[in-house]
Amino acid sequence: MNQVDNTMAKDINILLIDDSDVDNFINKAIISKEDNISQITTMSSGREALAHLKHIIATTDVYPDIIFLDIKMPGMSGFEFLDEYITLPNDLTNHCKVYILSSSMDNLDSEKGKEYSVVKKHLTKPLAHHAISNLLNDD
């Protein structure tokens, strides 16, 4: 006899941080095809994303579940973002899964990403090459 799983799947909140509007548009389209996505927020800079996260911390407890972070951005690189991100409250940093999403295939970038305990994995663009559902369910 088959059993039906009546538990509700969690709605997932995504934050995309990339200075490329085209990449944000494409990644948002790819992610929006997945089930259980409740919100996709795009930010075009690390500074903008930090301000957004600080606003969320101050006003709500609905944090992003996943952050896709480009590392090659003007003004504030993804690594500089991470340096600031890790100083944010543990409630946020322990909740969010951070994935570096970059066109860089440089092993030095990948190794540097591993220095941050908050980074789950370094993914190469485009996001379409990755099994999004696996990332969404990755614990």
Coil, strand, or helix at residue 80? helix
Residue pLDDT, tens place only, 35-54: 888 899 999 999 999 999 99
Cis peptide before 126 (omega within 30 of 0): yes
- Domains along the chain? 19-137 (3.40.50.2300)
Residue pLDDT, tens place only, 101-119: 988 777 787 888 888 999 9
Global model pTM greater than 0.75: yes
Of 133, 123, 124, 118, the C-alpha closest to 37 is: 133
